[in-house]
Chain A
C-alpha cells in the first residue's frame, strides 16, 4: 500500500518534471576542445514559463544555449524539448520542433537586406508572407524597411529584428541571448511587452541576461550560472531574488 502511494508520488514528481517540460536539461555538460565550460547543469522550463539564466561573462550561459541548439557537442547528460531527446538533431530539425533562437554574437547578416535575413530563417519562401505578417504584428516599423540593409538598423532596431525573426515561425520554446544588451530603456520596455505577450500565448523561454532588473521583472524563475554550474535558483518574484543574484554577480 505504502509502496503504491510512493509510486504514485514518484509518478506525480516525474509528471511535473522533465518529461513534460517545454525544455529539460539533466546533468548537461559541454565545452570546446579540451575545455569544459558547462558542467552538469540541470534545469527545466515549463510550458508558458520564462526562466532567466543569469551570470557574469564567460560563465557558460551562451555555451549552454548553443549546447541546447546542438551547435556545441553535448558531452554528458540529456536535453529534451517537449519530451523529445535532442541529441544529434540538426538545427533544421529543432526549428521544425518549434525551437526559436535569438542569438547575441553576430546575430544578423549585416550586408544582406532585412528581407533576405528573414527569408533565411524560414524553411521555404512559401512560408515567408505569413511569417512576415506575424513579425509586423510585433514590430510594424519593419514593414517599410524590408529592402534596407540589416546593418544600417540602430542597435535597438536590430534587437527587434532578431527577436521578431525568432518569433516568426511560432516557436513553442524560445532561447534568447542578451536581448536587452546595449538597448535604450524605452526599447527594452517594448521588447519586454512582446515577450510578455508571447508568454501569455503559451511560449516557453530560456532567457540569458546580464541586466538583472530586466531579467527578474520578466521571468518567472531565475538560475545563476557560475563557472558552468548552477549555484542558485528560485522564483524571480522572491523579495530577496535581486539581492541574491547581484551577490553572485559581484566580483
Chain B
C-alpha cells in the first residue's frame, strides 16, 4: 500500500514538474533549458512569501504570475528572434537559465533557504499513515492535468496550439496568429514550471541550483512523451514506479538515475517514445 502511494505521488510530482516543459516543447519545438530556472524562481517565490509573513499557499498564484511574466519577456526578447535557428534558441534558454540562477544567487545568496511547510503531518489512508502533503500533491497533479486537458481539448487556444503542433505552416496560412500562440504557451509553460517550484519546496531544499536536477528528469520524460500530455502521464507513472521500486529494493542512488537510464532505453527501442504506444 505504502509502495502504491509512493509510486502515485512520485508520478504526480514528476508530472507537475514536466507539464510546463512539455507544453513549450510541443508548440515551440524547442527544449526550454531555462525550465529549471523557472522552477527555482517559483521556489524563491515561496521564500519571499514566507519572508513577508504571508500565507504560504499564496506562493502558488504568485509563482504562476511571476513565471508567466518572466516567460513572456524571455519569449519576446530572447526566443522569438531565434525561431528560425532552433539550436541557438535551445542554447539561449540554457544561457538564460544560468543568468537567472546567478541573479537569484545575487539576491538571496548561495545558501539553502528554509520555507514553511505548505501542509504538515500525516493522514491515515487505507490503513497506512501517509504524508498529507504528498497526497495533496497528487490531487494538485490531477487538477493540473484536468485543467491542461480541458484547455487543450475544449478551448480555442488549445485547438490553435494543437494545430501549431501538428502543422504550423498550415495553421499560419489559415490566419492563425502562431506568434501569439507561441507566446501564450511559453507563458503558461513557464508559469506551470514556477508553480511546480513552489510545490517542490516541502520535498526538496531550496537553493539557486535546485532546478537542474529536476530539469534533467523532466527533459527525459518529455523526450519519451513527445508532445502528448497523456503519454507524459503514462511516462510519469511508469518511470515514477521504476524510481520508487529501484530506490526501495535496490539502492536509492540507482533509483535516482532510473528515469534517465530508462528514458534512454525506451527511446533506443521506440524513437517516438510513449506517444505512439
| Residues in chain A within 8 A of chain B (CB atoms) | 69, 71, 90-92, 94-96, 101, 103, 106-112, 116, 119-121, 123-125
Query: What are 19 sample pairs from A and B whose C-beta atoms fall under 8 A apart?
Result: A69-B173, A71-B172, A91-B172, A92-B177, A106-B169, A109-B162, A109-B163, A109-B167, A110-B166, A112-B162, A112-B163, A112-B166, A120-B163, A120-B174, A120-B176, A121-B174, A121-B175, A123-B175, A124-B156
The secondary structure that dominates the B interface is helix
**A residues less than 8 Å from B176 (CB atoms):** 91-92, 120
A123 to B175, CA, bound (A): 7
Who on chain B is nearest to A93 by CB? B175
How near does chain A come to B114, taking the closest CB pair, in angstroms? 48
Contacts of A91 in B (CB 8 A): 172-176
Among A90, A95, A109, A124, the residue within 8 A (CB) of B166 is A109
* Interface residue ranges, B against A (CB under 8 Å): 156, 159-160, 162-163, 166-167, 169-177
**Closest Cβ of chain B: how far from A63's Cβ, in Å?**
13
Chain A's nearest CB lies how many Å from the CB of B205?
43
Task: Please indicate the chain A residues that have their CB under 8 angstroms from the CB of B166 in the complex.
Answer: 109-112
Min CB gap A56→B, angstroms = 23
> How far does the alpha carbon of A124 sit from the alpha carbon of B156 in the complex, in Å?
9
A125 to B167, CA, bound (A): 20
Contact residues in A for B167 (Cβ distance below 8 Å): 106, 109
Q: Report how many A-B pairs have Cβ atoms within 8 Å.
A: 52
Q: Is the interface of A mostly helix, strand, loop or mixed?
A: loop
Residues of A within 8 A of B172 (CB): 71, 91
Contact A95 B170 (CB under 8 A): no
Residue of B nearest to A65 (CB): B173
Do A109 and B156 touch across chains, with their CB atoms under 8 A apart? no
Contact A119 B159 (CB under 8 A): yes
User: A119 contacts which chain B residues (CB < 8 A)?
Assistant: 156, 159
Q: Which residue of chain A is the closest to B172 with respect to CB atoms? A: A91
CA distance A227 to B174 in the complex (A): 28
Q: How far is the CB of B175 from chain A (nearest CB, A)?
A: 4
What is the CA–CA distance of A94 and B174 in the complex, to the nearest angstrom?
Answer: 9
Q: Are B156 and A107 in contact (CB under 8 A)?
A: no
Q: Cβ of A95: which chain B residues have Cβ within 8 Å of it?
A: 174-175
In the complex, chain A residues whose CB is within 8 Å of the CB of B169: 71, 106
Contact A92-B175, Cβ < 8 Å, known A106-B170, A107-B170 = yes
Output the nearest chain A residue to B179 by Cβ-Cβ distance. Answer: A90
Residues of B within 8 A of A69 (CB): 173
How far is A101 from B170 in the complex, measured between Cα atoms in Å? 10
Q: Which residues of B contact A112 (CB under 8 A)?
A: 159, 162-163, 166
Provide the residues of chain A in CB contact with B162, threshold 8 Å.
Answer: 109, 112
Nearest CB in chain A: distance from B1 CB, A: 40
CA separation between A231 and B166, bound complex, in Å? 38
CA distance A94 to B172 in the complex (A): 11
Question: When the two chains form the complex, which single residue of A90, A101, A108, A110 contacts B177, counting CB atoms closer than 8 Å?
Answer: A90
Smallest CB–CB gap between A122 and chain B, Å? 9
What residues on A are CB-neighbors of B171 within 8 Å?
120
Once bound together, how far apart are the Cα atoms of A107 and B173, in whole Å?
10
> Which of B160, B171, B172, B174 is packed against the most chain A CB atoms within 10 Å?
B174
Closest A residue to B167 using CB positions: A106
- By a CB distance below 8 angstroms, the chain B residues around A108 are 170
A109 to B172, CA, bound (A): 13
Known: A101-B174, A106-B170. 4 other contacts (CB 8 A): A71-B172, A92-B176, A101-B173, A125-B156
How far is it, in angstroms, between the C-alpha of A92 and the C-alpha of B156 when the chains are bound? 16
Enumerate chain A residues within 8 angstroms of B170, measured Cβ to Cβ. 103, 106-109
Question: For residue A71, which residue of chain B has the nearest CB?
Answer: B173
Contacts of A92 in B (CB 8 A): 175-177
Closest residue on chain A to residue B156 by CB atoms: A125
Q: How far is the CB of A19 from chain B (nearest CB, A)?
A: 26
Shortest C-beta distance, A125 to chain B (Å), equals: 6
B273 to chain A, nearest CB (A): 18
- Nearest CB on B from A110, distance (A): 8
Minimum C-beta distance from B149 to chain A (A) = 16
CA distance A125 to B169 in the complex (A): 21
Given contacts A109-B166, A112-B166, contact A120 B173 (CB under 8 A): no
> Which chain B residue shows the least CB distance to A118?
B174
Q: Which residues of B contact A90 (CB under 8 A)?
A: 175, 177
A108 to B173, CA, bound (A): 11
Instruction: Report the bound CA distance from A111 to B176 in whole Å.
Output: 18
Report how far A133 CA is from B163 CA in the complex, Å: 23
Which B residues lie within 8 Å of A101 (CB)? 173-174
Which chain B residue shows the least CB distance to A169? B175
Nearest CB of chain A from residue B167's CB, rounded to whole Å = 6
Taking CB as reference atom, which chain B residue is nearest A121? B174
* Smallest CB separation, B185 vs chain A (Å): 16
